[in-house]
């Protein structure tokens, strides 16, 4: 999935910071490296 596909599926305008985070997440998912999740209470 490309970041443009994610943005196109959202019905409101994202901020530049939100777009950057989507690109970072998708890049992490494609990297094949294990990611550690931080639990949120």
- Identify the pLDDT of residue 1: 63
From the list 5, 39, 3, the residue with the least C-alpha distance to 19 is: 3
Q: What is the pTM of this model?
A: 0.59
- Identify the pLDDT of residue 17: 94
Distance (Å, whole) CA 27 – CA 41: 26
- Identify the pLDDT of residue 16: 93
Convert the pLDDT of each residue in 10-38 to its tens digit: 778 889 998 898 888 888 888 888 777 77
């Amino acid at each position: 999935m490309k970041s443009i596909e994610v943005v196109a599926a959202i019905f409101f305008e994202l901020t530049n910071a939100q777009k950057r985070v989507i690109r970072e997440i998708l890049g992490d998912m494609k990297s094949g490296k294990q990611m550690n999740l931080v639990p949120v209470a």
